[in-house]
Every structure is written in C-alpha cells, then in structure tokens.
Structure 1
Amino acid sequence: MSNIITGKNIVKIFGKGNEQAKALNKVNVEIAKGEFVAVMGPSGSGKSTLLFALSGMDEITSGMVKFGDTELSKLGENALADVRRTKMGFVFQQPTMLRNLNLLDNIILPSAQKGKKDTAKLAQKAKELMNKAGIAGLENRDTTEVSGGQLQRAGICRALMNEPEILFADEPTGALNSKSAEEIMELLVDINKEGTAILLVTHDTKVAAMADRVLFTKDGNIASELTLQKFNGRDREARCETVLAGMAAVGI
C-alpha cells in the first residue's frame, strides 16, 4: 500500500543560540493510505510537534515531509494552504467555533469561505455528516447550548466537509468525560473504516488502543512502535494491555 505521509530525517528546532531546543531529532515515519496511527509519549516528547510537522502546519528545520508524491516544503504558502484545506482535516482538543454562529453554520463556514459555493449543498452535506456523527437535530443550537462531546462531533463534521484523505487529531478526547471520549473514538474508527487515514496524538491508552499502529515518542525520537492489526475486531482489553506493555518497554 502506498504512503499518504512520508517523513524523512525530520528535525525541528525551537529557539536560537543557547536557547535552542531540538523537539524532533531526525525522525523517520510513514503513514499508509487509510491507516489509523496513534502517537503516544510524555509531555515534551515531540508528539504534537510531529503532527504539526507532518501536516505542514509547522515548518521543519531540516528533513523532508511528503504528502503522497508532493514535498510540502517545496510548496508556496497558498499552495500549501490549499493542500491542507482540500486534502487534510484537523481536529483539536478544543474545537474553535464562532459563538455568533449556530452549529450548522460553524460546520460549513470553512468550506464556504473559498470561492463561490452553493451554500444549500454545503448545508445538506453538513446535515448528512451531523446525522452520521449522532448530532442530527442540533443544527440551530448555539455553541453554548451543546455538550463538549457534541461540540467535538461538530468539529469532526467540519473537518470532514471537504472529504480529506487524512485526518489529523491532536488530543481529540482530552477535554471529554470517558463516555464522550469513547463515543468520539467510535466515530473516528468508523471514519477510518470508510477510507480516511488518521494520525492521532493522545495520552490515553484506551484511545491509542483503537488504532492500527502506535508510535511511542521520547526525547524527540520515535523510540518504538507496535501494531494492533493482529487483534480481531475491537478486543479492547488485549489492545490496551499491548499498548501498556509497549509504553513500559520504552519507559514512558
């Protein structure tokens, strides 16, 4: 299977002179089309920095990141923005929504901003996604009138509006209770089954256990990785035990 993301010898340095800190140290990583990869590691290990580097949201110091056959660093600012907008989706711990807009308008806003688009068609597509995400009927609710889990579902709907090839998720369940977190992960698993690749950063063992593969970061490197594809269906207990063992093996 071909790769949707390829990173080679990625270095990311923050600061200058004596204040320099190397967040990524010659990292190599590949993500296949349609794969679900989780990244785990202690705070400061480089996991979120890696996500931002692989998505082109942050410029790397050296090395290479390719989206398919396209090297992101060779794209101009506008071309890179177009790739992120049309080919990638992003979900963060705290969805950024405009309070003066209802859920439906928040979902369609980024898609409607680029060029002249039929807002009626966008609204219909958004409603279909909301139905799939389990938040049908909340279209006219303000962002303050829904739960954190419902707001995160709306954020995922927004990320899927342009049918991205890959979804980048940075701690998407970090601000949710256990029930809402489980529901969000079920939704992401279903999205992945439909063909969208996912790269997800998390501290949560149960969340990572839902992925096909887990990368463990430590001191700016990928210290280890393990695959969970050998488990049939969603054998969560065995998956969690395997992830915990992987964490212990690299001392995180």
Structure 2
Amino acid sequence: MNSIITGKNIVKIFGKAGEQAKVLNGVNIEIAKGEFVAIMGPSGSGKSTLLFALSGMDEITSGSVKFGDTEICKLSENELADVRRTKMGFVFQQPTMLKNLNLLDNIILPTVHKGKKDIVKLTQRAKNLMKKTGILGLENRDIMEVSGGQLQRTGICRSLMNEPDILFADEPTGALNSKSAEEIMELLVDINKEGTAILLVTHDAKVAARADRVLFMKDGNIVSEFLLQKLSGRDMEVREKKVLVGMAAVGI
C-alpha cells in the first residue's frame, strides 16, 4: 500500500493520574494515497479522537503517526502547523467562520500567509472552487445570510485552497438535512475521484456507504472493516446494507 497516513500502536489517554481514561487502545491504521475511508463506532468509541490524532490536531500518549515518511509526532509546533496548512484539509460538522468576513474572504483566509502578490490568483482559485461546489455568486454574503448546506460548502472550499493531499472530515453532514447531506457527499466523492484522500468520521450508514473502506471502532480500537470499492458505485442500497451489518456487529 502506498500510504499517506500510517498509525502504529496509537494510545491516547485523557486525564491525570487516578482519573485517566484510555480512549485509544493501541490502534493500528493505514490510509492509502487517494483512498476514501470512513470510521464508524458507538459514541465514545474513539472515532473523532483517532481522526484528531492522525491529523496532528491532538498529541498522542504513545505510538507513532506518519504522514508519508514524516513522523508528525516529532515535528515542532510550527512544522506541524505547516504540514496541516499545506498538506491537509479539514471539514467539521459546524464550520468555524469569522463573522466579520464574507464567504469569499473566509475561503481565502488560510492562504493569506502567501502575501498580497498572490491575492488575484488566490481569489480566482477561491471562485473556481465556489463554482465547483455550487455557491458561486454568494461571494459577498455574510455567513449569517446563507443556509447550513451553503456554509458547509464554503468550509469545503476553504479546506481545498491549498490543494491538500488528504481531507479529514468529522461528521460533515451531521447538521444538515438529507438533501444537503447528499449533495455534500457527492462533492466529497468528486474531490476523492480527483485524487484527494479522505478520512471521514460518521454515524450515518448512507454517508459511510460512499467510502472505499469502512472501519468500525469499539472501546478504543478498530475491531473490523468492510471493503466497498468492489461493489457497484451505483448500487448504494447494497453498499448501505453492508455497512448496516457492520454497525450492528459493533452495537451501533
């Protein structure tokens, strides 16, 4: 496997001595370049904690996390921030936007370090992404003047500004209605087809059914996985049923 993310024996413990909780219990995981992987599991199983650990957003207690050939646990805070900003993208259930900026400026924000000389080029890239995601024309809208689905699309545009190698998504459709959720997943599938790897945490079988591979977590470890890429991409009912079987097996 040509891996983009490799985690070995990942342990994450929260709390101080006497009041500790082991949330990740020696997790091993490997994500290939260009792969679309979904993580599912009961509440408290460690899904989001694993995503944060693999992306370097949270420091692990022990083990190893590699991004390509780089051991991210050994990077300085500035080095790790550079990797996250230039090589990784992030989409969350509730996009965090600056209220004093319009949609276009919120999208461009992660790239401001590149300087004023590139502002025309960056603005054009942002508009191209807005067109691709169906929100071109809303550039000057305030974040309070758009729907939840449009705001999520804005977050996806922002996450793609630096052309990341991998997109980390934590319940990206959790706050959306079914129509908006389906549209967001269509966007993520298209992004993945263009070569961007995706690691997504979800509780929704329909969302997970879009992935190539579904990992099921329980009690801080990966207990099973289903491969879906060999199934017909158009036969979503079959894919969803396969995911539901896996969910039932781990008590979701």
Following superposition, the deviation at residue 152 of structure 1 comes to 0.2
Following superposition, the deviation at residue 116 of structure 1 comes to 5.0
Following superposition, the deviation at residue 249 of structure 1 comes to 2.1
Following superposition, the deviation at residue 233 of structure 1 comes to 2.1
Following superposition, the deviation at residue 117 of structure 1 comes to 4.7
- Percent identity over paired residues: 83
Distance 1:250 1:15 in 2: 26
Distance 2:61 2:167 in 1: 24
Aligned to 2:111: 111
Following superposition, the deviation at residue 56 of structure 1 comes to 0.5
Amino acid in the other structure paired with 2:25: N
Residue 218 of structure 2 corresponds to residue 218 of structure 1: yes
Q: Secondary structure at the match of 2:207?
A: helix
Q: Secondary structure at the match of 2:18?
A: helix
Aligned to 1:147: 147
Following superposition, the deviation at residue 250 of structure 1 comes to 2.6
Instruction: Assess if the C-alpha contact under 8 Å between 1:210 and 1:234 holds in 2.
Output: no
Q: Secondary structure at the match of 1:118?
A: helix
Aligned to 1:209: 209
Q: Secondary structure at the match of 1:140?
A: coil
Following superposition, the deviation at residue 232 of structure 1 comes to 1.6
Aligned to 2:70: 70
Amino acid in the other structure paired with 2:82: D
Distance 2:136 2:246 in 1: 39
Count of aligned residue pairs for this structure pair: 252
**So what's the TM-score if we normalise by structure 2?**
0.98
Amino acid in the other structure paired with 1:150: Q
Deviations 1:79-129 (A, max 9, x none): 110000000000000011111111000000111135555111111000000
Equivalent runs, 1:1-252 vs 2, <5 Å: 1-115=1-115, 117-252=117-252
Following superposition, the deviation at residue 235 of structure 1 comes to 1.4
Q: Secondary structure at the match of 2:28?
A: strand
**Gap runs ≥5 in structure 2:** none
Amino acid in the other structure paired with 2:45: S
Following superposition, the deviation at residue 234 of structure 1 comes to 2.9
Distance 1:70 1:36 in 2: 21
Q: Secondary structure at the match of 2:155?
A: helix
